[in-house]
Structure 1
Amino acid sequence: MQGRMTMIHMDLSIIIPTFNEKNNVRLIASRIMTILNRENCLYEIVFVDDSVDDTLAVLEELCNEFSCVKYLHRKNERGLASAVVKGFYHSQGNQIIVMDADLQHPPELIPLILKRLLQADIVIPSRFVPGGSDGGLNLFRKLISGIARGVGCFFIKKLRLISDSTSGYFALKRNVINAAHLDPIGWKILIEILVKGKYRTVHEIPYSFIAREAGESKMSIKEQYNYLRHILRLVNNSPEDYKFYSFCIIGALGIVVNLLCLHIFIKLFNMGELSSSVSASCIAIIHNFLWNNNVTWREYKQEILWKRIVKFSQFSLICGLGIGITTLFAQIFLFLGWNIYAGQLLGISVSINWNFFANSKWTWPAEHNESNREDGKPIVTQELPSKVSLN
């Protein structure tokens, strides 16, 4: 890796990943400098470059002309998100803004971003709050972007409060990422920060996504695949999400165990239907408890025997109530003349959430391990469109 970096204390670092953006880097640097030279802050513009065209030569020229411009050139590394992380490590600002080099992220928002960063830990220019627009995307890219956001929000609870969690334009205070082990895949670094960072407040401001003026989009099938891999990895790094999906998978396996045992008791042992059903359910509960205790809430698996017996009793009681909830919904639907299968499905959905919530709170409480405690739901606020100006 080569580059031009000077270690000086900075108020602000603007990190811009580049890949074959020779026609844009001078334009974006010029617009940023024009804006920030009016502000009372010491700043640096850090390009992290993976280019194989003449972008490197243009960056070298910019560094020679302007002391605030710096760059790193990576020869054997690729990926927008990892480029941003490299920029984090080699930048000096207490405040950090990340943006693309393709001019789709208007630098004119920077003064407002800096003002809002005085009160918030993270500031996200959003295309999806009132006053924002994703008009710079064609229909296909809007569809892909919408699916990506939907997948992220479905799997990761922390992303559901953010309207534009896949944005490439955002700002943060450095202490948000100081203790975070950032190891992203692909192109969406913001979701990595939202899952792993330490923050309490997020503020969103509207902006209009602008069509590219030069260069080509880096979106590809490979990047979409990497995004899915990234989401799955983040689920594993988000205790609340990991535990919920592990709990659901174990519950689904428990249904298979229940039905298999029911079949064995009836067909092989000639047991009565009621006794077979009760026995199969008991075995399924034991199966689910052992797996949850050793996998979902694995921090508890070394507890002494009597504590595990107590937890098994709590788990069985909670799951018994869950069965009651499912039965209640099925009976209500049947009484109303509605489809009993729909009632059963709704009851199962409610009971799964009940079982997970109750077991998280009482059987395996998070206080057992401080490292697994949630920081709490972040406070997310949004800018009124009338307050946003690019002048």
Structure 2
Amino acid sequence: MSDSNQNLLLAFPTGALVISDRVNITSTLDRPLKFSLIIPTFNEGQNIKEIVTILSGLLDRIIPGEYELIVVDDNSPDLTWELACELIPTYPQLQVMRRTTERGLSTAVIRGWQAARGEVLGVIDADLQHPPEILLQLWGEIVKGAELSVASRNVEGGGVSEWSVVRRFLSRGAQMLGLAILPEVIGRLSDPMSGYFMVRRSAIANKTLSPVGYKILIEVAARGQIRWIAETGYVFRERVAGASKVTWKQYVEYIQHLVRLRFSLWPVTRFLRFGVVGFSGVFVDLGVFYLLRTLLGIGLTRSTILSSEVAILNNFLWNDVWTFGDMSRGQQGNRKRFRRFIKFNLICLSGLVINTLIVNVLFNAFHINEYIAKLIAIAVVTFWNFWFNLKLSWRVTDTEKDYSSKPKQ
């Protein structure tokens, strides 16, 4: 280990995984930069010189003197960090961080961003499987105004070179699973497992990041304030040197990450309000049913249908004003309110069908007590009604809010 190389190392941050809204200035010689690109490494000694050389050549063409490359190495046995330090005299825009107390690609990227001076933050693998020339197109999208610019294998111009059928299946399966668990995030990304992207510092500043596994894009897209996501196609290359680090463990961690994000992003307050409104609807339903059936003598079926519909109307009005009031205020007008009511009605009616099916299956097929079966069905349908009403009935489609992929010009 060379003492001179040791002295060149960039100190790595500790503590919470939070990106500051201000660039990291550690000396009077430092200054803010336009772009900081993180290259996380572990045993990439065979590739490090080539990737630094190529990236420097590309960025010197578009933003000379306005960028930095930060290699964040997890104390590689092949001394990747030391090999990178030896490149600094030739490439003064290069910095090297050696981590000895932490491991993991995702946290390596965040630690690099914490030490970075760029207004735009990026990440690229060191193994040359991400074609470096795509960096120019990603930067072009940032210049146009995108908050997040992603290299994707699943848009026009994208693909994989020599993946097996099993690996292709796992990749697509991971995306479909993500859509089921976290649709509002995964639905905005054609390649949620991409590890090649740029993001504006301002979009993720002061957000506590909590990544799991070796991919961080989902975390950034979920927790960041990102209106405009731009995607650029690229072909994922096979390794020329070094060993692949993709294992089954990464797919398990991906699922864990999705579940953690789902619960952390779940709108608890809104759900509780929805539950209170639903509880009030039970009393409205029973009260109207008593009025129609007992006092007015209307038939059982008609009384049941009418009382249920009045309860649905009651629930809709309260939800429109209170539970989803912040969303409905962005969709003023009787026509839009009527459309929301029709959607709400259809979702609630489908919930009633699901309720009936669950009770019958649990009671008849699994011989579960009918009252317990009813409670289980109510719980399932409550989540069903809330989630689909949130995503369909009160979804903002007519206003220029953060739901658009690009801002209006």
TM range (shorter): 0.5 to 0.7
Residue 221 of structure 2 aligns to a residue whose secondary structure is helix
CA shift digits 1:345-377 (9 cap, x unpaired): xxxx99975554558999xx99xxxxxxxx732
Whether the aligned pair in 1 keeps the contact of 2:226 and 2:402 (CA below 8 Å) is no
Shift of 1:85: 0.6
Distance 2:203 2:247 in 1: 30
Distance 1:126 1:324 in 2: 37
Whether the aligned pair in 1 keeps the contact of 2:185 and 2:218 (CA below 8 Å) is no
Specify which of 137, 146, 154 is matched with residue 128 of structure 1: 154
Distance 2:390 2:166 in 1: 43
Residue of structure 1 equivalent to 2:3: none
Distance 1:57 1:159 in 2: 38
Residue of structure 1 equivalent to 2:165: 139
Residue of structure 2 equivalent to 1:4: 10
Q: Flag the 1:133–1:351 CA change in 2: closer, same or farther, 3 A.
A: same
Aligned: 1:59 with 2:84: yes
Whether the aligned pair in 1 keeps the contact of 2:44 and 2:127 (CA below 8 Å) is yes
Matches within 5 A, 1:341-380: 354=385, 356-358=387-389, 376-379=402-405
Q: Flag the 1:76–1:240 CA change in 2: closer, same or farther, 3 A.
A: same
Distance 1:133 1:56 in 2: 31
Residue 85 of structure 1 aligns to a residue whose secondary structure is helix
Distance 2:218 2:269 in 1: 16
Specify which of 50, 57, 60 is matched with residue 27 of structure 1: 50
Residue ranges of structure 1 left out of the alignment (5+ in a row): 252-273, 298-317, 331-348, 367-374, 382-391
Residue 87 of structure 2 aligns to a residue whose secondary structure is helix
Q: Flag the 1:323–1:179 CA change in 2: closer, same or farther, 3 A.
A: same
Distance 1:171 1:136 in 2: 26
Distance 2:92 2:180 in 1: 44
Whether the aligned pair in 2 keeps the contact of 1:128 and 1:134 (CA below 8 Å) is no
Residue of structure 2 equivalent to 1:116: 141
TM-score by length of 2: 0.63
Whether the aligned pair in 2 keeps the contact of 1:202 and 1:380 (CA below 8 Å) is yes
Specify which of 228, 233, 237 is matched with residue 206 of structure 1: 233
Whether the aligned pair in 1 keeps the contact of 2:71 and 2:81 (CA below 8 Å) is no
Query: Structure 2 counterpart of 1:379, which letter?
Result: S
Residue of structure 1 equivalent to 2:222: 195
Distance 1:360 1:353 in 2: 11
Matches within 5 A, 1:137-176: 137-156=163-182, 157-176=184-203
Residue of structure 1 equivalent to 2:62: 39
Shift of 1:138: 3.2
Whether the aligned pair in 1 keeps the contact of 2:36 and 2:118 (CA below 8 Å) is yes
Residue 23 of structure 1 aligns to a residue whose secondary structure is coil
Residue of structure 2 equivalent to 1:340: none
Query: Structure 2 counterpart of 1:203, which letter?
Result: A
Query: Structure 1 counterpart of 2:200, which letter?
Result: K
Residue 145 of structure 1 aligns to a residue whose secondary structure is helix
Query: Structure 1 counterpart of 2:58, which letter?
Result: I
Structure 1 window deviating more from structure 2 (231-240 vs 156-165): it is 231-240
Q: Flag the 1:350–1:4 CA change in 2: closer, same or farther, 3 A.
A: closer
Matches within 5 A, 1:1-391: 3-4=9-10, 7-41=30-64, 42-53=66-77, 54-119=79-144, 120-156=146-182, 157-239=184-266, 322-323=348-349, 326=352, 354=385, 356-358=387-389, 376-379=402-405
CA shift digits 1:237-272 (9 cap, x unpaired): 22359978xx99xx9xxxxxxxxxxxxxxxxxxxxx
**Seq. identity, %:** 30
Distance 1:360 1:190 in 2: 23
Whether the aligned pair in 2 keeps the contact of 1:161 and 1:380 (CA below 8 Å) is no
Distance 2:230 2:141 in 1: 7
Residue 62 of structure 2 aligns to a residue whose secondary structure is coil
Distance 2:231 2:194 in 1: 11
Whether the aligned pair in 2 keeps the contact of 1:24 and 1:214 (CA below 8 Å) is yes
Residue of structure 1 equivalent to 2:295: none
Residue 63 of structure 1 aligns to a residue whose secondary structure is coil
Distance 2:72 2:118 in 1: 15
CA shift digits 1:41-99 (9 cap, x unpaired): 41100011114322122012012432111011111211111111111101111112211
Distance 2:161 2:391 in 1: 43
Structure 1 window deviating more from structure 2 (138-147 vs 127-136): it is 138-147
Query: Structure 2 counterpart of 1:151, which letter?
Result: L
Whether the aligned pair in 2 keeps the contact of 1:326 and 1:351 (CA below 8 Å) is no
Q: Flag the 1:188–1:225 CA change in 2: closer, same or farther, 3 A.
A: same
Q: Flag the 1:321–1:17 CA change in 2: closer, same or farther, 3 A.
A: closer
Whether the aligned pair in 1 keeps the contact of 2:212 and 2:254 (CA below 8 Å) is yes
Residue 379 of structure 1 aligns to a residue whose secondary structure is coil
RMSD (Å) for aligned C-alpha atoms: 4.4
TM-score by length of 1: 0.65
Whether the aligned pair in 2 keeps the contact of 1:22 and 1:55 (CA below 8 Å) is yes
Whether the aligned pair in 2 keeps the contact of 1:184 and 1:192 (CA below 8 Å) is yes
Shift of 1:221: 2.6
Aligned residues: 301
Residue 38 of structure 1 aligns to a residue whose secondary structure is helix
